[in-house]
Amino acid sequence: MKRLRKRSKKLCCDHHPARAQGKPIEIWFQDEARIGQQGTLTRVWAMRGSRPRAPRDRRYDWAYLFGAACPQRGVAAGLVMPTANAEAMSLHLAAISRKVAPGAHAVLVLDGAGDHGAGTLRTPDNVTVLQLPPYAPELNPIENVWEYLRANKLAITVFDDYDDIVATTCEAWNFFANDPDRIASITSRTWATVNP
């Protein structure tokens, strides 16, 4: 029993570091998605018995959308990057850090992708990273954001070039990020709230 208490205390301290003590806590969810010319299909309205046509691109060019949201405040931070690596993740952590309320501390929930645990990852002082268990994407509400954006803003699209991919991806992300009600609606979870 004593060993269990010591272990739980260590786990709590690891996920709630001294720099977060006495500060309001914000829960943020983060993930990245690849958006590109090999787009996605979605459901469309059509006459019964008809077979609607949809354009499909065979080229391989894409960008990565790094996105994070705080459902409690209805705030989001996103970056579109050419690659998904530790440097891009560090830039995204800095963007999230700037969106955290002054004097607050963010607990950033994310998956266990390789670039999230890289030794070169720079984590800001007002952010603590909390990794989800393996093979549990359903615990990350940002997965629902990707599903929503692909179904409503990015599906059945043929991009002219890389710049078009970036512009359309930014437009889709801003559509989501500029609506606090939409952020809260898609990313809120009752199990991920912090009592004031």
The 10s digit of each residue's pLDDT in 98-122 is 999 999 999 999 988 766 666 678 8
User: How far is the C-alpha of 1 from the C-alpha of 137, rounded, in Å?
Assistant: 33
Q: Is residue 140 part of a domain?
A: yes
The pTM of the whole model exceeds 0.75: yes
What is the number of domains present in the chain?
A: 1
- Domain of residue 101, CATH code: 3.30.420.10
Is the predicted pLDDT of residue 189 greater than 70, yes or no?
yes
Helix/strand/coil for 76: strand
Is the predicted pLDDT of residue 79 greater than 50, yes or no?
yes
Q: Is residue 45 part of a domain?
A: no
Residue-level pLDDT at 37:
66
Q: Is residue 48 part of a domain?
A: no
- Whether residue 58 contacts residue 160, with contact meaning beta carbons closer than 8 Å, is answered with no
**Encoding tokens for residue 68?**
């994070």
Write the single-letter amino acid at 187.
Answer: T
Higher pLDDT, 52 or 96: 96
Nearest in space to 112 (alpha carbons), one of 91, 92, 130, 88 = 130
